[in-house]
Amino acid sequence: MKYVMSRLLYAILVLWIVGTILFFMFRLMPGSPLAAFIDQTTTLEQQQALIARFGLDKSLFQQYTIFLQNALQGDLGQSFFHRRPVTEVVMEALPNTVILTLSGLVVAYIFGVLAGAYLAWRRGSAVEGIGIPLALATRAAPEFWLGMVMLAFFSFHLGWFPAGGANSVGLEYDNEWRRIFTVDYLHHLILPVLTLAIYLQGLPLLLMRSNMIEILQEEFITMSKMKGLGSRTIVLNHAARNAMLPVATAFALGIGSAIGGNVVVETIFSWPGIGRLLVNAVSASDYPLAQGAFMIITAVLVAMNFVADMTYHLLDPRIRHAASN
């Protein structure tokens, strides 16, 4: 319990620090937050009324105090551009980001775990000599470059997938769930998921391979070979199961980091998620919406970090023993 409370306090501290940095950072950026409201017909009195309406006439310290009080109540303010509560706008985009992130991670980790285990078993072979450089190359390649290559080949050249968006233009649905569970939505989802999976698969692949190489040198693996067990049984039932712990922890951390990294993928494919919403909010100097999107991303990342800590604490007795001491 002491360990859990310490991690919770650490998570709250991180959220407060990030929220404070975001608050002051956006207010020091150039550009007027009222750019979406002001035009040539807006009078000075109307501009002053807008400034008072959004609380921009108060001192920076007063605005910060109000921001903290509202954030503790779950109120992230009103969007300047959408003229709606930030929480409402962000929650509309959140399902698209979660679906894209989880789909990409699942594909990346399934492939990475299987390929990493296979490369470890075939260590020193030509397969490993080709597989490792490919994994490193895809991991090092920028997301925007991967996305552009995927778009150019599969969308513009072959025409297999749409170039952007989450649904075809003109289609209407009764509710959000009907829109998501359609073949059209899945068709638009495939290309962004493949791009994200190709970028993310390098970490689980290399991590699984490294763990497998260590496990395969353990005495119980030698005993399994002496018993006459087959290669498939040794790799899957003995070595792979013991090498999965760090990979499972990395998966939890990967959810948070992938949601933060989806900004590029969502922008390239015009995917209506939090990342694209964040880019548009920054461009429009929509402080509350940009802060809210950043805070949601940070909260998810911190939560997944907490889950990873708890998972490792539960599964590895060495961590529990160290924490108790």
In a domain, 73, yes or no: no
**Tens digit of pLDDT for each residue in 46-64?**
667 766 766 666 777 877 8
Residues 29, 30, 36, 39, Cα dihedral to 10°: 160
The whole-number pLDDT of residue 132 equals 82
- For residue 26 the two structure tokens come to 């956006």
Band (pLDDT 50/70/90 cuts) for residue 267 is: confident
DSSP state of 33: T
In a domain, 251, yes or no: yes
**Tens digit of pLDDT for each residue in 117-168?**
788 777 777 877 888 888 888 877 777 888 888 888 888 888 888 887 777 7
Rg (CA), the chain: 24
| 218, pLDDT greater than 70 | no
Rounded CA separation 7/216 (Å): 34
**Tens digit of pLDDT for each residue in 271-295?**
888 888 888 887 777 777 888 888 8
Burial track 87-99 (b if 16+ CB lie within 10 A, e otherwise): eebbeebbbbbbb
Rounded CA separation 142/316 (Å): 34
DSSP state of 78: B
In a domain, 101, yes or no: yes
Rounded CA separation 212/228 (Å): 20
In a domain, 8, yes or no: no
The whole-number pLDDT of residue 275 equals 80
How many structural domains comprise the chain?
1
What CATH number should be reported for the domain holding residue 161? 1.10.3720.10
Cβ contact 15:298 at 8 Å: yes
In a domain, 152, yes or no: yes
Q: How much of the chain, in percent, has pLDDT values that exceed 70?
A: 72
Contacts of 162 (CB under 8 A, 6+ apart): 155, 168, 187, 188, 191
State the residue range of the domain holding 139.
89-283+304-324
**Tens digit of pLDDT for each residue in 2-52?**
767 777 788 788 888 888 887 787 777 665 666 555 656 666 776 677 667
In a domain, 76, yes or no: no
Return the HEC string of 244-308. HHHHHHHHHHHHHHHHHHHHHHHHHCCCCCHHHHHHHHHHCCCHHHHHHHHHHHHHHHHHHHHHH
Rounded CA separation 275/280 (Å): 9
**Tens digit of pLDDT for each residue in 167-197?**
777 667 676 677 777 888 888 888 888 888 8
CB-count burial class (<10 Å; 0-12, 13-18, 19+) for 320: middle
In a domain, 121, yes or no: yes
DSSP string, 203-238: HHHHHHHHHHHHHTTSHHHHHHHHTT--HHHIIIII
The whole-number pLDDT of residue 6 equals 76
The whole-number pLDDT of residue 284 equals 74
Contacts of 70 (CB under 8 A, 6+ apart): 76, 77
The whole-number pLDDT of residue 131 equals 80
In a domain, 42, yes or no: no
| 70, pLDDT greater than 70 | yes
Rounded CA separation 173/182 (Å): 10
| 320, pLDDT greater than 60 | no
**Tens digit of pLDDT for each residue in 95-126?**
888 888 888 888 888 888 888 878 877 777 78
